[in-house]
Chains A and B, each alone.
Chain A
């Protein structure tokens, strides 16, 4: 049996808006194993982002038990979550969210600074080459196209060698061609490097490339399917 990275046991996330309670994630069970490529799909507002944030230790559950790398994180404080995030988790966002004042290379180096491993700087350069941006390392984000920016963001997420890569709608802001390139990068990372990837998407193509698609609705899982295409 492959290594269990994430185990969610009846987790919920409740937002209180005035008198109303919104259960963005509702009593959800989920297991994610090492080397998996999981895609969360579902209509807007179904809780994909919220679930991803929770699994990625960006946010906390309201109830239920969440184990990541065999550690119960349900009750951890922000200062303890950041330690888990820092070295084990990489994040990619829909709007890329690069630091506009820093060059591509500096953006990729930034997590190394926070993780206290500035000596691994060479890795940043290597990752930018890997995502096909070896010639643009000194460009600022505004000098790069959307697809290029997202590739920088992927390099940034990978620079600390995380165990899991989370991506929230990584192709959502991209044209089809750039989106396709990003899909290919994820494919390669998962297949060749054995990186565990968990993402949310509306993109059918990206979804079908995942080994497992989890459909969400109203914060709960409505179906799980093993993708036959890419296994």
Chain B
């Protein structure tokens, strides 16, 4: 027999109480791991989303920059429109390496999602779009046959959802228009996966937006010229220039302001768990006054008693930590769903990334918490005087 089994057996004595306490620790750990996993996952996915747009600068019609930022990420442009002349004008700028015009439009399709209805995002693009996204590959089919063809290429997920393959027809009910599917993109892990693409001119025609654009994506030759470039467009009426770095910052800010809230929830969960652990162990110490007295009488030193009680606390927190990690792992998809509902903008990739180092860190955190929570009860137990403890309650 070892000292640890004395501690362990005592925890098993009051199974419900021990279980509830472990549960409290587990919830606190799970909340913390989910939040931190979200932090990591969100940043990574967002960065991926933004990098995979292929451009560093987006020119859109003037409007709320926050709104534009999120709308643009959702579909490559704020749903305000500007004149195509802007594109013609900027495109000659020598600082630009690549430039592509876009026209995004949404339509509600009541048959989508098993009759629930849903919004489909359409995007008119020109050939230059592919130059900005060299990684985008066809799963099947090929690029549009012409600048004004009644054809679409569907993103991977949209195609899966709609069960479409190259050669099919798609019908846009509100416009009473039928288009031919000429290609399906491979998965990119970005918003593009959910978009239905068509030639820019086709989009302008069928959505009745002649000569309009929703955005212009630009890749500069030298990123250092960014502010310079922005400056030069400052006087252009009706447009705004958004740098991707700015967008990232804006979205991070949005998210981190809501994180102040979630962080305090995590903090409270941890606090409650710690108090729960202290309370449980303290109760069990007082209930065992006689036993502790006897242990001292048969040779336990203060340190021996301290160790037993400390071990009990730490065991609770270790078990709680492991359980919390398991809950966090199992709960990832649920947390993702909740976050997606709440967030103003959620990137396509995994929102919650739970890494081994995060699990290890949270486990160590739980152990440290146990050690800290155990100090006071262990001290109380170890300073009981043997005679008084043994004769107590007579």
Closest Cβ neighbor of B294 among chain A residues = A97
A41 contacts chain B at the CB level, 8 A cutoff: no
Q: From residue 133 to 162 of chain A, which have CB atoms closer than 8 A to chain B?
A: 156-157, 160
B387 near A114 with CB under 8 A, answer no
Given contacts A99-B6, A101-B9, A106-B1, contact A111 B298 (CB under 8 A): yes
B297 near A91 with CB under 8 A, answer yes
Inter-chain contacts of A101 with B (CB < 8 A) = 6, 9-10, 12-13
The smallest beta-carbon distance between A80 and chain B, in angstroms, is: 10
B387 near A82 with CB under 8 A, answer no
> With A and B bound together, what is the CA distance between A49 and B386 in angstroms?
13
The smallest beta-carbon distance between B5 and chain A, in angstroms, is: 8
Interface string of B256-283 (1 = CB under 8 A from A): 0000000000000000000000000000
Q: From residue 297 to 322 of chain B, which have CB atoms closer than 8 A to chain A?
A: 297-302, 304
A59 near B9 with CB under 8 A, answer no
Interface string of B1-30 (1 = CB under 8 A from A): 111011001101100000000000000000
Closest Cβ neighbor of B386 among chain A residues = A58
B298 near A79 with CB under 8 A, answer no
Inter-chain contacts of B385 with A (CB < 8 A) = 78
> With A and B bound together, what is the CA distance between A100 and B387 in angstroms?
19
The smallest beta-carbon distance between A222 and chain B, in angstroms, is: 24
B387 near A59 with CB under 8 A, answer yes
A99 near B295 with CB under 8 A, answer yes
B290 contacts chain A at the CB level, 8 A cutoff: yes
Q: From residue 58 to 115 of chain A, which have CB atoms closer than 8 A to chain B?
A: 58-59, 78-79, 82-83, 85-87, 90-91, 93, 97, 99-102, 106, 109-111, 113-115
Inter-chain contacts of A58 with B (CB < 8 A) = 297, 386-387, 390
Q: Which among B3, B6, B10 has the highest number of chain A CB atoms within 10 Å?
A: B6
B299 near A111 with CB under 8 A, answer yes
Given contacts A102-B6, A109-B1, contact A160 B299 (CB under 8 A): yes
Out of B9, B10, B299, B390, name the residue touching A97 (CB < 8 Å).
Answer: B390
B302 near A79 with CB under 8 A, answer yes
Inter-chain contacts of B3 with A (CB < 8 A) = 113
Instruction: Provide the main secondary structure of the chain B interface.
Output: helix
> With A and B bound together, what is the CA distance between A78 and B304 in angstroms?
14
Q: Tally chain B residues at the interface, Cβ within 8 Å.
A: 26
The smallest beta-carbon distance between B305 and chain A, in angstroms, is: 9
A115 near B299 with CB under 8 A, answer yes
B296 contacts chain A at the CB level, 8 A cutoff: yes
> With A and B bound together, what is the CA distance between A49 and B394 in angstroms?
13
B294 near A113 with CB under 8 A, answer no
Inter-chain contacts of A9 with B (CB < 8 A) = none
Out of B6, B13, B387, name the residue touching A110 (CB < 8 Å).
Answer: B6
Closest Cβ neighbor of A81 among chain B residues = B386
A53 contacts chain B at the CB level, 8 A cutoff: yes
Inter-chain contacts of B291 with A (CB < 8 A) = 97, 99-100
B12 near A113 with CB under 8 A, answer no
The smallest beta-carbon distance between B206 and chain A, in angstroms, is: 78
Given contacts A93-B390, A113-B1, A114-B304, contact A82 B6 (CB under 8 A): no
B299 near A85 with CB under 8 A, answer yes
Out of A53, A90, A106, name the residue touching B387 (CB < 8 Å).
Answer: A53
Inter-chain contacts of B387 with A (CB < 8 A) = 53, 58-59
> With A and B bound together, what is the CA distance between A85 and B301 in angstroms?
10
The smallest beta-carbon distance between A181 and chain B, in angstroms, is: 22
Interface string of A32-59 (1 = CB under 8 A from B): 0000000000000000010001001011
Query: Top 4 nearest A-B pairs by Cβ distance?
Result: A86-B299, A114-B299, A101-B9, A97-B294
